[in-house]
Amino acid sequence: MEDIFLALGLLIAVTISLSLYRAVLGPGVFNQVAAVNVIGTKVIVLLVAVGYIFDRPMFVDISLLYAILNFIATLVMSKYLERGEICSA
Amino acid sequence: MTRSKEHNVGLMLAVFAVLYIFWLLMSACINPLNGHFSPIHIIAGIICAGVVTLLSHDLLITKEGEMTLAKTFRLIAYVPWELWQIFLANFDVAYRVLHPKMPIDPRIIEFDTSLRSDFALTTLANSITLTPGTITIDIDPGKGRFLVHAIAKKPADALLVDKTMINKVAHVYMEEA
Amino acid sequence: MFSIINIIATILIAGGAFFMVTGVVGLLRFPDFYTRLHATGKCDTLGEVLVIVGCMVYQGWSFITIKLFFLMFFIFLANPVGTHAIMKAAYLTGLKPWKKGEERR
């Protein structure tokens, strides 16, 4: 079963490096933000897979925290691009 | 006055209980196989849940709406249909992605609903985003107006003509469709 | 060696991996920003949820299963909201949607 998680982790790594193309070169800043959001959500699953590969279940906590951080980062970036400021006084 | 204060204390206790149960579930992983609880984690959980309850007890449960229990049951009955729709949506998008000619014809559509409450609008917006070929762009909560990006003509028609999903969400939250 | 639970978990994880790869192919292949979000917002959500459900089946009953369930619930709530937020920002700043027959960008 560890082999399957290893294959899953490698596949996610490949998909992350493919979406790096959009994150770096994507025309316009919105493509980049979308690609960064996609990479973040993939890293959540990658962390779970890494936890099973190394038999360290604590990685699930890290991925929960990472999910929340990624969500907030996406919201803040899109609000900033929408209004030109993060918090209107 | 006193009654509202008592009600407030009950609400705070409920919020505290929810937060503390959540803390116990999250911190039970000290020894993940049998769930070992150590005293320091239990006491720290009481302190943290208490502080969070004092600061922000009015955020988690805003106020008691009418017929909350019935709405919850109807929402639970709505979820399997929604999951099936999500499954269909994914095969639809996978077909469009992997087809060599990419059969897409994007358009933006706009329609009005008579839904008003925040929960109903949020549920409908998330459902639209997750179901075949449509993503919500903007909502006008005052008029219940939705601005939706559709990837082809068929999903747009499914939303504009059939109105199955709108009727289902209206049924869940007991509003007129 | 392979019990029935492992087989079910493997099938779920393989399905999730397929949908995640499809999402990335859509991200690279579709012609403009809005259609790219169609691919990522739907395929990624279901792919990740399927992988996490596969992990839950493999894990069996323990506290980690509860955490994975919360993680799945959060992805289901947060991913459409994030997609919607980026899309609204792009629409309000005036990014024009791609119409059929135009140049890809």
The pLDDT tens digits of the residues spanning B83-106 come to 888 888 788 888 887 877 777 777
Tell me what pLDDT residue B59 has. Answer: 67
The yes-or-no verdict on residue C15 having pLDDT over 80 is: yes
Q: Which domain holds residue C31?
A: 4-92
Neighboring chains of B (3 or more beta-carbon pairs < 8 A): A, C
Closest to A9 in 3D by CA, of A34, A38, A43: A43
How many CB atoms neighbour CB C94 within 10 A? 6
Q: Is B130 on the interface with C (CB under 8 A)?
A: yes
Tell me what pLDDT residue B65 has. Answer: 57
Q: Which of A8, A34, A78 sits opposite C36 (nearest CB)?
A: A34
Tell me what pLDDT residue C42 has. Answer: 82
A48-76 tens-digit pLDDT:
888 888 887 788 888 888 999 999 998 88
What's the rounded Cα separation, in Å, for the pair B80 and C31? 33
Give the model's confidence band at B1: pLDDT under 50 very low, under 70 low, under 90 confident, else very high. Answer: very low
Q: How many CA atoms, within 13 angstroms, populate the side-chain half-sphere of residue C6?
A: 8
User: Is C16 inside any structural domain?
Assistant: yes
Q: Find the mean pLDDT for residues A35-57.
A: 88
Q: Is B26 on the interface with C (CB under 8 A)?
A: yes
Q: How many CB pairs under 8 A join B and C?
A: 101
What's the rounded Cα separation, in Å, for the pair C42 and C51? 14
Q: Which residues of A touch B (CB under 8 A)?
A: 57-58, 60-61
For residue A17, give both structure tokens: 């490096």
Contact A75 C81 (CB under 8 A): yes
Between B60 and C24, where is the model more confident? C24
What's the rounded Cα separation, in Å, for the pair B28 and B83? 30
User: Is C26 inside any structural domain?
Assistant: yes
Q: Which of C32, C42, C97 sits opposite B90 (nearest CB)?
A: C42
Contact A11 C21 (CB under 8 A): yes
From the CA atom positions of chain B, what is the Rg in Å? 22
**ipTM of the prediction:** 0.83
Picking from B42-46, B62-66, B145-149, which range would have the lowest pLDDT averaged per residue? B62-66
For residue C51, give both structure tokens: 């992988």
Give the model's confidence band at B3: pLDDT under 50 very low, under 70 low, under 90 confident, else very high. Answer: very low
Between B59 and B134, where is the model more confident? B134
Phi, psi of B163 (to 5 degrees): 60, 25
CA distance B148 to chain C (A): 10
Between B159 and B107, where is the model more confident? B107
The yes-or-no verdict on residue C23 having pLDDT over 50 is: yes
User: Is C100 inside any structural domain?
Assistant: no
Between B17 and B172, where is the model more confident? B17
User: Is C99 inside any structural domain?
Assistant: no
Q: Where in chain A are the domains? A: 2-83
Q: Find the mean pLDDT for residues C11-17.
A: 89
What's the rounded Cα separation, in Å, for the pair C42 and C20? 10
| Domains held by chain C: number | 1
Tell me what pLDDT residue B37 has. Answer: 64
How many CB atoms neighbour CB C55 within 10 A? 26
State the best of C63, C71, C105 to mutate against chain B, taking most chain B CBs within 10 Å.
C63
